[in-house]
Each structure stands twice: as structure tokens, then as C-alpha cells.
Structure 1
Amino acid sequence: MRGNIMPNGSQEKRPDPDALLERIHKETRGKLTVFLGAAAGVGKTYTMLEAAHGRLKEGVDVVIGWVDTHGREETERLVTGLPRISPRQIEYRGKRLYEMDIDAILDRKPELVLVDELAHTNIPGSRHVRRFQDVEELLQAGINVYTTLNIQHIESLNDIVAQITGVVVRETVPDYIIEQADSVQLIDIPPEELIKRLKEGKVYVPGQAEQALRNFFRPGNINALRELALRYTASRVDKDMSDYMREHRIEGPWPAAERVMVCVSASPFSAQLIRAARRLARGLQAELIAVHIETPARRPLNEKDRDRVAGNMRLAEELGAKTLTVVGNNLVQEILDVARAKNVSSIVVGKPRHSRLWDLWRGSVVDKLIRESGGINVYVIRGTAEEKAKSNVKTAPDIEPFSWKPYAGGLWMCLAVTVFGLLLKEYLEIVNIALLYQLPVTLSAFWWGRWPSYFTAVCGVAVFDFLFVPPVFTFTVADIRYCWSFLTFLIVAFVIGGRTELLRAEASAARQRERSTRALYDFSREIAAVIDLDVIAGELVKQAAETIGRSVVVMMPEQNGKLTLRAGHYLEPNASFCLTDDPAELAVASWAFEHGQAAGRSTDTLPSANYLYIPLKTTDNVVGVMGVHMTDKQVLLEEKRLIDAWAGLAAIAIERVRLADKAREAALLVESDRLRTALFNSISHELRTPLSTIVGSVSTLLDAEPVYSETARRELLENIQEGAARMERLVTNLLDTARLESGMMQLKIDWCDIEDIIGAALQRLRDSTQRYSLEINVAPDTPLLKADCVLLEQVLINLIDNAMKYSARGSEISITAEAEEKWVKVSVLDRGVGISEEDLGRVFDKFYRGQQPKYVSGTGLGLSICKGIIEAHGGIIWAERREGGGTIISFKIPTGGEEPIFSEKDGAK
């Protein structure tokens, strides 16, 4: 970080340019305040309206852009007194719906606007698809916004909420919207109070409240969502505090919340240190951070040390710590910088085990850390010798094969410099010739490493002494000062060679890490939205094989628990894999799966196998096995790290898919339970009534056949016929619903005359329609249409039957048909009780019956079936209120099979 040096020697840190730009951006845009709740009914809208009244009294220009009171009296009272911008009316599928008028708000440009339900999806035809996009535009215009949101609508928490409640929330808000909010206020009430509000009907209407209490609003769900909201808000507050400290250059920590940081190194005692820090953090109810400081200036880490550091960081992650790796030259300063940046209250370090003389020579890190820690507590933990963690996989260091070519190259460069020096001996000083011999040393170190450079340095000194130092052609040195020159030359050569090789090793390790990280990142990005295990397994073996450089297979258990091969990618010609052809390999893979330990090649367990089998372990269980084809008896440390990384990522990916499947199954079970309950409630009544009518009429005819006149007997038979027809329609609706839900409904397309279809429908309902005044109006120019005549007849039967149910006897029922460009429009009009405005959009839902009179029977399936049949034809269906009372239900289908194109604009005509 760049900075100015102060007179006292300290460095003044300059403000971050990105932070300054962000601050300027925030000053020009509006302020966003989010009222966050754990669930519906906690009082978000109520609190937002109360805050708005307070701002209005302060003289702030406040308006309501959109507020949903949901019929709550106390909320509606708070709406009174606040200026309100009228909503925008949108025609959609023949219905008039309302949305927030963003243009009117921008024209009015108030200081503060209230926008309820941030996660809402706007009606098609609105400017933006989602309401949070409307809010973003208002903020960009400099308007402050108050809004409400439930915790389950935050995108990053969607999977967690689905696991908790079994409900997959479809409407979510991106995390960056909440992260950019200037204020997040948590609205929270106890679960008992929320349940009480539900039972009192203050959240949902009574019927919906009972269902909500059985499903989503169980006490366990509410407590889990409350904890999620509290944790999210706490992390938000912590981020705000850290930003404030950084903006005002305040040195931490502030003891607002405990946070423990443990320093991780390649020491064999770091694992004990991490466990001790975890116990300390648990006792303090604090967050744990594990930090590893890479210091290139100190002794470089070898392969064994790197492997140990990686293992310690994995242990910290398993214990719930956040891990962080930092590169720096000053170990103590980097530790303290991280601690202050993360607002750490306690640092845990290990007690040194070296002698006091080492501290006097190199300095004590612990002592320096304690002296410079300021207000941070430093815990020094003594480590004890522990058994080395056993690993089934045998590893070997990566040893490069010996080659004489680098040494020959160094010698050749020395000879070239010698020839050059001899030719220009008369023109160059002997000191200049000595400096020329540094060039082969440096190039040898850069190209081939440390030992070739050391060999080149010794050869250079010997040749220089023999040919240029008097007396020449001997190794005798006349002037003793040349001995010091030779010694200095060798020291410089050794330093250059060692540091250059270190840089080569670090560059090579960095390139390898970069390739591995990029491959892991690409894989995780590509499978982020994939839920097919076969696709994930195939992509996994392909990228893992290319990264590791060996053939890779993945096996997963079937329902019976037996392993089967899901995918394989083979790089070697003899690496083909078939479980059925090689039962020995299957036995090794099964052992690794059952015991959760590595087995096979390069291990002590069944090493005769051709593959190394790594179990894919998650927190709870083993989800599969990854096999890597091995040709050697030992695995290189770098390969082992790569294999472990890919195995861990594969386990996470597979577990994510399984959790998603469980969430979908849970949601399906909830939906199935709801449908089953509604079906039983409806059918129990609908079947009982016609059955009672049929049984009663038949019993009367059998028991008293001579008593009744012909007219009475005919009336009883008509009752039986009407009851049977009613049962037939009910069973037909149930079967049609099942076919629609399963996708088994097949259209039998043929040319149809809509007038014939209307006539056939009225013929089947001839006994029922005699009680009403029917009016049929089919336009003469109505064309033939390509459709399924039988299904369209069923649609008209359901629509006419629905009209008769809600109309008084003797009232008028009209059926019209007309052509509209390439469409045929059919409408059924009645003068019945009508449909309320809020029910217009829901009358086509399954089992939804609206608030009809008690004497009206039905299962709520008829209109739902009509909607499914019409949409299967590429058409649309909608309901609207009729002027003067009653309802109009209309549908439109294309006339020909070549143009089943539908637009929302057409549907609103």
C-alpha cells in the first residue's frame, strides 16, 4: 500500500481510491433502508409506516409508492395521513391489475418513498420484471427508499430456507441489493406472538392461517428463521462497523463482539493450536479466524511443510473457522494488520520450542507480538508432541532425475567467458574479468537451479585463479587479498544461486496452484446450476483427469447400496475401467466406500489394485468414491493435494444435488398433502350428495312402487339420472385433472365447427338447461378451427355448468362465438352472483372456489381443467365482471394449426 512517511517514521496510509469512488457514488444516489423480518406477520410494514409518520413530522416529503396492508386494520390506519401515489393500471389476460407507478414517483420526486414487498414479481407489461429493479431506478434518481423484506427472499439463503422449511422460495432478491443498503433494521417478535397473530387472523385469512400453521409457520421453522435473520443482521452490523473503522482510520479492535484469530504454520503443533483456539472461541461465543502468513524472506516451505499447512487449514475449516492466507515479509506486522482489519479481540499463537540463543539471534516473534499488540489479547499455547496423523496414501517427494547437461552447460559458459577474457586481457582490468564470471553463475541458477550454479561458481573461481591471477598457470596465489575476493565471489554465487532457485520453485508452485485453482473454479462454476448427477460426474472426471494428469473414475451407490460406475475419463491406454469385468477393483472401491478411508494403489490397504480409491466424504456421510489410475507405488505430495481437493469438491457437488432433491421432495410432499386434503374435502361432499339422491330415489321406487303415480316415479328417475350425470362430470373432471398433471393428455386435432360443439354441449346438459333462459349467438363469419372437438365440448360443458351454479333459475345465460383475426373467441355470460375483483386471477386455480354462496357445490376443478385444455391448444382463457351483474368467462384459440401464437396484448382485447 502506498503512503507518506511521517516524521516519526510511521507510514500514513492513503485513502483507498475505490473506497472514495464508492463514497461519492453513495452521496449521489438515494438511501435505502430495509425493514427485515424472519417471516410474514412480524410487523415490517407496520414499523415502516410508523417510521414514515415520524419522518413526515420532521418535515420530510414522504409518499407511499406501494403498500400491501393485507386487510389488517392497524396497518390500514397508519396508511391514513400519508400522501399516496396512485398505482398504475395494467391490462393482463383480460384482467385489470395494479402495480407501482414508477414514472409518477420519478415525476413527483419526493425525498422518501415507501415500497413494500421488495421481492415482488411485477405483472408482465411493467417496465421491470422485479420490484427491486424499480427500487434501484428510484435510488439512482436520488430518491430515498423504505422497503420490507423477509429473510427467506435473500438469494444466498434460499437453499438454507428450503432445508429448514421444505419450501423452495421462487421470488428472491440478489444479495448485492441488501449489501448496498444504507440501513437494515431487524423486525422481530417471539414465535408465540407470531402464532397468536396468525390464529387471530391478523396475518392471513382464517383458512389460509390454519394451513400456514400446519406447514410453514411451525414453531421450529419460526425459531430457525429468526436465528437466520439475527445472524444475517449481526454480520451486516459487523461489516458496517468495520467499514466505519476503516473510513475513519480507527485502529482496532473495538470490543463490540469477540473474535478469535489463530496463527497457522507448518509446525507439527499447529493442529493442537487450532483446537485450543476453537475451545476458546466456543467459550467466548466468538467467531474463529485461522490465518497463515507466507513470508518469502524466511525459510521457504518444502513439500512436506506445504502439505502440513494445507492439512491444518482444512482442520480449521472443519472446526468452523474462516481461513485466510496472507503474503508478507514482516510476520508480526502482517499478523497485527490482519487482526486489526478483522477487528480481532484475541490472538492465539504457539509457545516457541527453540532455545533462547535463537531468539537473541533472530528475535522472538511472540515477544514482539505481545509488545505491539496494543488492545488485542495474546494467548500463548504450549504444544506437546503428538502422534503424526496417519494417512493411508503413501507419498514421495517430487525428485527431479539427475542430468549432466546443466553442469556441462555451466562449464561451457565458463569456457566462453575465459576465451573472451583472454582475448581482451590487454584491455580489461582483472576486476572486470572477475565480474564476468558472475554471469555464468546467474544464468545457471536461472535456467537449471542451485547445484549447477554452485558447480559453475567453483569452476569459475578455479579457471580465474589458474589463468588470470599471478602467478598464472598455477593455483598458487601470490597476493593474499585475492583469497578474500575468491571467498566473496563464492558467497555471492551461493546466495544468487539459492535465491534464484527459490524464485524458480515459487514461480513453478504458483503456476501449478493457479492451474489447479482455475480448474477447480471452472468446474464449480459450470456445475453451479446443474442438478443432474450424471452431468456433474462426467464434467468432474474430465477436468480432474486433465488437471491431475491421470485417468479418473467416479462411482456412486444405487438404491440397494451397491457401487456403480457413473463416469470415467481415461488418459492412459490401459486404464479402461469396468466393474463387471474386474470384481477385484469393485471390492477395493466398496471397501473404501464402506470404511470411509483411501484404499488401493499407493496405500497399505489392498495395494495390488490399479486405482487409488478416495472416498467422497461430506460432514455426515460418504456419497461416493473417486478412483485415480496409478502407475507408481507412491503419490507425489502435489498430486495428493490435487486429488484431495478434487475429492472434496466432488463430495460437495454431489451432496448439493442430493440436498436439492430432498428439498424438492419435501416441497412435493407438502404440495401433495395440500392437494390431498383439498381433494378429500371436496369429493367427500360432492360424491355423498348425488349418491344419497340416487340411493334414496331407488329405495323409494323399490319399497313403494305401486303407491307412486307415473309423474312421481318419473321425477324420482330424473333425480337418479341427474345424480348420475353429476357423478359422471365429477369423475371426468378428476380424470382430466390427472391427465393434465401427468402430461398424458393428447390432443386429437381435426377441423371443428364451433356451432356444432356448442350444440353438442347443450344436448348433454339439456335437462339442466331447461331451468334457464338460453341465448346462443354465433357470428355467421366464424371460421372452422383445428382443435380437439371432444375436449372443447368438455370446456363448454364446464363453463355452462359453472354459469348455472351461480345463477338463479330462470335467469339469462348467453353463449357467443365470433372471429377475431386468426382467432375464434367464445364467451359464456351469466347474470349470477359475479366474481369479486380479488378472485378474478384465482378462479382457474385447482380447488379454488372463491367466496361463493353456501348452497353452491363443486370441487374447484372445472375451470382449472378448462384452462389446461385451452392452453394445450395454444389459446388463452380469462374471467371478467359483467356490467349490471354477473360474470363473463371467455377463451380464444387459433383457427389453424400453423399459427398457435399467443401474445399478452391479444389476450387483453
Structure 2
Amino acid sequence: MSDATRADALLADMPREGRGRLKVFLGAAPGVGKTFAMLQAAQAQLRQGVDLRVGVVETHGRAETEAMLTGLPQQTQRHLEYRGVALNEMDLDGILANPPKLVLVDELAHSNAPGSRHSKRWQDVQELLEAGIDVYTTVNVQHLEALNDQIRDITGVQVRETLPDWVLQEADEILLIDLPPRELLERLREGKVYVPEQARAAIDAFFSQTNLTALRELAMQTAAARVDADLNRRYRLQGQEAPTVRGRLLLGIDGDAQAERLVRHASRVAERRHLPWSVVHVDTGGERDETRLANLQAAQQLAERLGGEVVSLRGGEVARTLIEHARERRASLILVGRSRHRLRRRWLGRGLAERLLAKGPGLEISVLDTEVDQAPPMPRASQPLAWRDYLLALLATAGAVGIALGLSRVLELPNISLIFLAAVLLVAVRSSLGPALACAGLSFLAYNFLFIPPTFTLIIERQEDVLTLLFFLLMAGLTGNLATRQRRQLQALRQTQAETTALLELSRKLTAATDRQAVLAAALQQFALWPEVEVSLLARSTDGVWKVEAGAQRLLAEQERAAADWSWQHDQPAGLGTGTLPGGRWWWWPLSGEEGPLALLGVSPKDGGALPPEQRRLIAALGQPLTQALERAQLAADLEAARLHGQTEELRSALLASVSHDLRTPLTAMRGSIDSLLALGEQIPLADRRELLEGTRDEAERLDRYIQNLLDMTRLGHGALKLSRDWVAPVDIVASALQRLRPVLAPLQVETVLPTELPLLYVHAALIEQALINVLENAARFSPSQGRLRVAVEADEDELRFSVSDQGPGIPEHEREKIFDMFYTAARGDRGGQGTGLGLAICQGMLGAHGGRVTVGEGLDGRGATLTLHLPLHPQPLPEEE
């Protein structure tokens, strides 16, 4: 046994986190003591201190059962009224509002009253289990969906209240409550199951000893199958070889009346053999009436409820398509029903089963004869004749007659039949098989009456003419049938292509969508191609408020809102056509990712009818790429938020560092100087006092520049910076900047390169001066002591440039763009240190406001860096006349 198989068994055996445990008390028939045994087990749990509550228990007036209810806490039931009849149902919301550890729910297969959240009680139990509540429940074997036909054959009674077999298969524990048929009949006669009148009717109709024995055997078989499955799982848990799953069971169905019977039989076979199973329908393009379509859809829905996979294939030949699909899925067993057309099978040879045996060596082929005990077939509903198609057949025949009469002098008699064959083929391509056969019959009569000697009679004298007419009729029928089949297959292929195109088109649109709104708009655009339905895409806030993000803006009624809430919370479809709140007009499908629902898709037919299964499956298929696109948009939004959060944290850290260093350092120096002056006063020589005061002033100016940088950056970011331009000489800007930074530049060898004739700048002088000061201060910070620093100004026809070059550590290529980011700092060079990182960012903003820019180049003597301020030149003003 592989480690993966053992790991899967371990995972399957582990209790699902947050889910309650289900214990089922299974019986063969009413009255065997299931409810009594459940209440007895509940009394034992109550004595152990377990918090439990009776959700619903049907005592049917049995005194011993009512006595067992004594002392058990009970949940108040809901009182409903339906068509003037008062009904009591389990209060599911009341239990969920104050959840106990254990709930008792009798009669698992019970149908809830109309207006309840779920149509079946087993769905209520599933919701209790999902809420983490343990459940004790009871059920009789005749209520299992897969045994429905077999129960009817045994008892002659069609059980209406059923539940899917997978509900029982997922139970954590099944306890078989058994009672011999004789004892059960004695209890019936004593009135311990039903009142005397009901008991006599039950014995006559259902509770015969033969029926009870058969039901008892079915109950034991069901329990034994569960024990066998548990035993196999235990073997796998121990790492030992267990009966492995051998292939897959494929059930081939058509739209006949026995399709559901075949599905139930396949479910039982698959359960006994521990096989996964699929229900396959092969569409050959044949014409199907509404009854056959309804039967097929009902069988497919039943297969989904029983846990099977539903597959629809398109092919020209059923046996070959089934065999090919079986090879692809590695199936070992194919189950089909016996062919309905016995007469045709007797005349023409092999049926479907024989063809499967011939084409599928190595596969097990099982045939279920469903016609032995079935009721007489219902007469097919008469289909209205397509008068236009039959009129086409008549006109085509008349046209062929006219053409044949016109060419009869030119063509020989055998060639004239080709004209009628062409007419038959035309009708077959344009209509269906019936009109084509009608055209063939009319052409046969016209050909015989008008062209076969003796003409204008239906008498045939020559034997070769008889063969010619028979071959003509045969070829007309074959060509008409072939053309009709090809036309139907073409229609089926067009339908498949339309579905595939819808998926591809939606995927293409979603690929171009970058955010959530774009994804929803693309989905709505695709769903708008279906004019027969309304579509709405909803999102729910954390406080439970629904918001229509795209599609039909409809106010949700209370029932629709309840269905939407349930679908969102439980990640399952609800509403129209489902078992949960089916009374509404909308079918809700949750679009869920790994972390829960992302949106809720609602579809409502405009005619008020139900959604066909094919359309529901197509919508579900379209929901997969839509969900992936929503997840992608959500992930992009989360990444963007994370990036912004990271940048914010980075800016916050840099700002805190600047406050702790660049702002605090001048304050520390100023406080030290002031403390010295206050403490020593006149004892400090006058020259030293003057030096302390000048140092304090310099540090105050330095602090003022930092604060000014912060204010300027804020004004630049908010667009509040206004330019008051005037004509100014570049030399004046350089001189003023050097004067203001005289203390900072004192340790350096400053050089200036200023041409004698420079054009004037039309700028905000204070801002350009501040930009130059920022660049000079940045160069001074990273320059070594006694290093060279050069300030140069040059101009051409288009722009004027201020260049500041130093001998510092320089700026690598990969950092030259980053140095203009806010709060980007570097700490290289013997005089470098942490700073606010605002100076160059402000410089770039100020130059950008004037239409200029900042560039970075190499420094002096192969060392350091050069920052150049580029400013555009304007037409120079004319000199003023004296």
C-alpha cells in the first residue's frame, strides 16, 4: 500500500474540524423502535451532563415513547399554516441561535412544510452539522433514494419521501434497530405502532410478513455495506492491503421512462462494489420530444443527488462513444438498459449491448432488463405537424416533376430518378426526417405515374422497372435519413460551439480586467447575451448588508434575502430549483475562492419558470473563470494595499529617523550653547560667548531649513505651491546660495565657474535658490574635509544649467533614480550621515514646477558626483530706454 493511500485514509478518518457528528438509528420499517432507542441513548447522554435538546420527535401517540421524553429539554417548534392546515416544524433558527452540543431530530426523510428554509429535514440536519452540533436521527430503509424502485417492486407502494444515499454514507455511526417481523406484527395488532384502524389498513397494505422480511433484509444489507466500508478503511489505516477501487462504473442512459430506475440500480451496484460511477448520455443528434428531455433531466438530477457524475457526450454512434469514454476514464464496468426496439433488434441484428461486447474486449458489460415489470407504455403525445416543412416537401416534389418533364427528352429514364433524389436530399437538409420521407413517397409515386411505362398509371409492366422503383425508394430514404442526421449533428455541434465560445469569450474579457469592477462588468456583458434571464451580481458587507455591484437593481424580498444569506454562509446554491428556499424567483450561486465567497451570482428567468439543468451547468462553468478573475483582482488589491502599507511604514521610519537625528541634532547643539551661557554667564570670555551665539544661530538656521523642506514638500504634494516669477540673474542666485551656506561650506574648497554673459531666468527666485541650496548642502554632507566643490553655470539657446560637482563617494548607476525619492537617504563618505531625504526630492519638485529637471553625472577627478539643474530659457526682455 502506498503512503499516499494510507494518508488519504487517515485524513478521511479524522473528524472534520468544526463539524458535528451524525448518528443514525436505522430500521426496516416503522415501529421497530428507532425513536425509542434514540431517546434511550439521549437519556444516557443527559445523565453524563451533555447539553442536548429535542429538536423534533414524532411519538405517534406511543405511551412508552412519550415516557422516554420526560426530562429531556425540548426546543419550541415553529407553527406554520398551509392551505388552512396548522403544521408544526422544527425551529432550525432557534437551535442555531442557542446551539447545544447534541440535537435529536426524528424522521430524517421528512418533507418540510412549504415556506421553510429547506424542503427536506435532512438538509436541516446538514446545516446543524456544519454549525458543529452533533445530531441523533432516525430513518427507515425504504426512504433511501437508491432503493426506491426496489421498495416499490416489493411492497407495491411508491415512497415519496426520500433522501440521498450519501447522507447515510457520510454518517459517523449507523445503529441498526432490528425487530423480527412477527414481533412487529404483534405490536401493530396491539396498537403500539398505529391506532387500531390504521394498524389494520397498514397490515393489509404494507406490513405483510413477506414485505417486512424483505425490508429487514434490505436494512441489514445497508448496514452490512457500511460495516464493510468501515472495515476496508480500517485496513487502509493500518497500512495493509484492502480491496482497492477497481476502475469506474459507467451507466449509459437515454430519455426513456426507465432512466431513473437505471440510475438507482447503478447507485446500488457502485456502492456494493465500492466503485465511483458516472451517468453518461450520448447525444447522436436524434430528435427528442419534451417528454424524453424531461426524463433525461430528471435522471441526471437524480444521479447528482445520489453522488454520481453526470457526463454528456456527442457522437455519431452510441456504442463506440461509450467505449472511447470508458477507455479515457479507465472504467471497468458499463451498465446499460435493454434495447427498447426488440423488433428492430430481431430484424437488423445486434443491439447496443451486443455492439458493446463486440467493441469493448476486457470490459464488463451489464444489461438491466427494465421492461419486464414495467407498466404499459404511455402513448406518445402527438406532435404538431410542421406544415411548412411538409409544404416544402410538396413543392420540392412538384419542382422535381417540372424539371424532370422538361429534361425527359434529353435524359434517359434511370437518370430522371436522380432529379427526385436531389429533391429528397434538399428537403432532408432543410427540414427533418418526416418531411424527407414524405418527399420520397411523393417522388416515388410521381416517378412511377409520369415516367414508368405505361405512363399515367401506377401499373408496372417490366420487372426491371420494379427494381428501379424499389432502389429509388431505398436510396431516397437512406439519403434523407443521412442528411437529417447530419443536420441534427450540425445543430448539436453549433450548440457545443456556442457553449465553448461563451467560455472562451468570458475568459478573454476577464483576462483584460484589472480590478473587481472590471471583472464584474465583463461578466455582466457576457451574461447579457442571454435575453431570457435576469442576472445580478451581489456583494455582502461585514454587517450583512447586500449591495448590487452589477446587473439588475432589484430590491430583495424577505425570502430572496434569506436564500442569498444562506447561499453566502454555506457556500452552496439556493433559491429557485434547489432544495433550499425554492419558493423565490432567483437562483443564487456563490462565487467562492479559497477564503470564502467573493460575490453572489443571481439568475432569474424572465418567464418565471425554472432554469433547465443544462443552463445551470453552463452558468456554473462560467462561474469558475469568473471566480478565478475575482480572486486575481482581490489578490492584486491586497498586494497593492500591502505595497502602500510597506511604503507608508518606510516613510514613517524615515521620518522618525529624521526627527531623531536631523531635527534633534540642531536642538541639542542649541540647548548646549544656551545652557553654557546661562550657567557661566560673564565668566565666559566675550569671544567665546560670541562663538556660542553664532553657533546657536547657525543651528537654528539649519533647523529652519529642515522645517522649510518639510513644508515645501507638503505644499508640492498638495499642489499649493504658486510661482511668482520675475527676471533674475543666475549669478545672483549662486551668490545668495553660497552666502546662506557659508558655515556649511567652510570646510571645503569651493570653486565657481561663472561666465561673464549669461541670459536672465524668468523664475521664482526664492524657489530656485532653495533648490540650489539643497543640492549644495547634499554635496557638502558627502564631501570629505578640504575636498573640492565646484559650482558652474552654463547656457545654450534652450536652457541654462547649474552644475554642482564634488569629490564624495559618488552615486552608483542603480541609485541615481532613487535619490530623488522622498526619504531616500545614503550614508557613504567620511562626512555622510542620515538625513531626511527630502532635499533632492524638493529640488526635483521645484525644478519640475518651472518645467525643468535634475540629472546626475560623474564628479571631479573621477570621484564624487555632479548634479545639474536644467531650467528652460524664455525670450529675453528688451532693455529699458532711459
TM-score of the two chains, using structure 1 as the length reference: 0.52
1:660 paired residue among 632, 636, 642: 636
8 Å CA contact 1:351, 1:366 repeated in 2: no
Give the corresponding residue for 1:353. 335
What is the alpha-carbon distance in structure 2 between the residues aligned to residue 271 and residue 531 of structure 1?
A: 47
Q: Kindly state the Cα deviation for residue 624 of structure 1 after the two structures are TM-superposed.
A: 1.7
Give 5+ residue unaligned stretches, structure 2. 1-245, 254-262, 339-349, 369-381, 877-882
What is the alpha-carbon distance in structure 2 between the residues aligned to residue 350 and residue 270 of structure 1?
A: 17
Letter in 1 for 2:330: V
What is the alpha-carbon distance in structure 2 between the residues aligned to residue 306 and residue 483 of structure 1?
A: 44
Superposed, 1:421-820 pairs within 5 Å as: 437-460=420-443, 492-546=475-529, 550-558=533-541, 560=543, 562-568=545-551, 577-579=552-554, 589-590=564-565, 592-599=567-574, 612-632=587-607, 633-636=609-612, 639-681=615-657, 683-734=659-710, 744=719, 746=721, 748=723, 750-753=725-728, 754-769=730-745, 772=748, 774-807=750-783, 813-820=789-796
Q: Residues 480 and 541 of structure 1: is their aligned pair in 2 closer, same or farther, counting only changes over 3 Å?
A: same
8 Å CA contact 1:536, 1:653 repeated in 2: yes
Q: Secondary structure at the match of 1:353?
A: strand
Q: Kindly state the Cα deviation for residue 635 of structure 1 after the two structures are TM-superposed.
A: 3.2
1:403 paired residue among 382, 386, 406: 386
1:847 paired residue among 801, 824, 845: 824
Q: Kindly state the Cα deviation for residue 656 of structure 1 after the two structures are TM-superposed.
A: 1.7
Q: Residues 424 and 560 of structure 1: is their aligned pair in 2 closer, same or farther, counting only changes over 3 Å?
A: same
What is the alpha-carbon distance in structure 2 between the residues aligned to residue 380 and residue 793 of structure 1?
A: 93
Give the corresponding residue for 1:881. 859
Q: Residues 351 and 881 of structure 1: is their aligned pair in 2 closer, same or farther, counting only changes over 3 Å?
A: same
Q: Secondary structure at the match of 1:815?
A: strand
Q: Kindly state the Cα deviation for residue 546 of structure 1 after the two structures are TM-superposed.
A: 2.5
Q: Residues 537 and 732 of structure 1: is their aligned pair in 2 closer, same or farther, counting only changes over 3 Å?
A: same
Q: Kindly state the Cα deviation for residue 882 of structure 1 after the two structures are TM-superposed.
A: 0.7
Give the corresponding residue for 2:84. none
Q: Secondary structure at the match of 1:668?
A: helix
Q: Residues 269 and 761 of structure 1: is their aligned pair in 2 closer, same or farther, counting only changes over 3 Å?
A: farther
8 Å CA contact 1:610, 1:631 repeated in 2: no
Per-residue CA deviations over 1:865-907 (Å, capped at 9, x if unaligned) read 4344434534232132212755432221222499xxxxxxxxx
Q: Kindly state the Cα deviation for residue 493 of structure 1 after the two structures are TM-superposed.
A: 4.6
What is the alpha-carbon distance in structure 2 between the residues aligned to residue 433 and residue 782 of structure 1?
A: 105
What is the alpha-carbon distance in structure 1 between the residues aligned to residue 853 and residue 247 of structure 2?
A: 64
Q: Residues 404 and 597 of structure 1: is their aligned pair in 2 closer, same or farther, counting only changes over 3 Å?
A: farther
What is the alpha-carbon distance in structure 2 between the residues aligned to residue 445 and residue 652 of structure 1?
A: 45
Q: Residues 383 and 748 of structure 1: is their aligned pair in 2 closer, same or farther, counting only changes over 3 Å?
A: farther
Count of aligned pairs: 584
8 Å CA contact 1:807, 1:831 repeated in 2: yes
2:843 paired residue among 861, 866, 876: 866
What is the alpha-carbon distance in structure 2 between the residues aligned to residue 264 and residue 819 of structure 1?
A: 87
What is the alpha-carbon distance in structure 2 between the residues aligned to residue 671 and residue 426 of structure 1?
A: 95
Letter in 2 for 1:622: P
Give the corresponding residue for 2:6. none
> Are positions 1:823 and 2:776 aligned together?
no
Q: Kindly state the Cα deviation for residue 265 of structure 1 after the two structures are TM-superposed.
A: 9.1
Q: Residues 270 and 531 of structure 1: is their aligned pair in 2 closer, same or farther, counting only changes over 3 Å?
A: farther
8 Å CA contact 1:349, 1:366 repeated in 2: no
Q: Secondary structure at the match of 1:705?
A: helix
Letter in 1 for 2:631: E
1:364 paired residue among 357, 362, 377: 357
What is the alpha-carbon distance in structure 2 between the residues aligned to residue 792 and residue 307 of structure 1?
A: 80
8 Å CA contact 2:533, 2:606 repeated in 1: no
Q: Secondary structure at the match of 2:826?
A: coil
Q: Kindly state the Cα deviation for residue 823 of structure 1 after the two structures are TM-superposed.
A: 0.9
Q: Kindly state the Cα deviation for residue 727 of structure 1 after the two structures are TM-superposed.
A: 3.2
What is the alpha-carbon distance in structure 2 between the residues aligned to residue 710 and residue 739 of structure 1?
A: 43
Q: Secondary structure at the match of 2:553?
A: coil
Q: Kindly state the Cα deviation for residue 500 of structure 1 after the two structures are TM-superposed.
A: 2.3
What is the alpha-carbon distance in structure 1 between the residues aligned to residue 694 and residue 367 of structure 2?
A: 95
Q: Kindly state the Cα deviation for residue 407 of structure 1 after the two structures are TM-superposed.
A: 1.9
Q: Residues 843 and 565 of structure 1: is their aligned pair in 2 closer, same or farther, counting only changes over 3 Å?
A: closer
Q: Kindly state the Cα deviation for residue 406 of structure 1 after the two structures are TM-superposed.
A: 1.3
What is the alpha-carbon distance in structure 1 between the residues aligned to residue 736 and residue 537 of structure 2?
A: 61
What is the alpha-carbon distance in structure 2 between the residues aligned to residue 889 and residue 270 of structure 1?
A: 86
Once the two structures are aligned, what percentage of the paired residues are identical?
27
Q: Kindly state the Cα deviation for residue 799 of structure 1 after the two structures are TM-superposed.
A: 1.4
What is the alpha-carbon distance in structure 2 between the residues aligned to residue 419 and residue 687 of structure 1?
A: 108
Letter in 1 for 2:839: G
What is the alpha-carbon distance in structure 2 between the residues aligned to residue 353 and residue 720 of structure 1?
A: 99
1:893 paired residue among 840, 848, 871: 871
Per-residue CA deviations over 1:402-452 (Å, capped at 9, x if unaligned) read 532212322343455567778999998886676655444322221111232
Per-residue CA deviations over 1:627-682 (Å, capped at 9, x if unaligned) read 44522303355544543343333323222211111222333344444444455455
Q: Secondary structure at the match of 2:683?
A: coil
What is the alpha-carbon distance in structure 1 between the residues aligned to residue 814 and residue 859 of structure 2?
A: 11
Per-residue CA deviations over 1:195-216 (Å, capped at 9, x if unaligned) read xxxxxxxxxxxxxxxxxxxxxx
What is the alpha-carbon distance in structure 1 between the residues aligned to residue 833 and residue 389 of structure 2?
A: 97
What is the alpha-carbon distance in structure 2 between the residues aligned to residue 865 and residue 270 of structure 1?
A: 81
Per-residue CA deviations over 1:607-639 (Å, capped at 9, x if unaligned) read 675655443344543222334452230335554
From the CA coordinates, give the structure whose radius of gyration is larger: 2
What is the alpha-carbon distance in structure 2 between the residues aligned to residue 477 and residue 692 of structure 1?
A: 129
Letter in 2 for 1:362: R
Q: Secondary structure at the match of 1:349?
A: coil
Give 5+ residue unaligned stretches, structure 1. 1-259, 282-289, 340-345, 371-378, 385-398, 569-576, 899-909
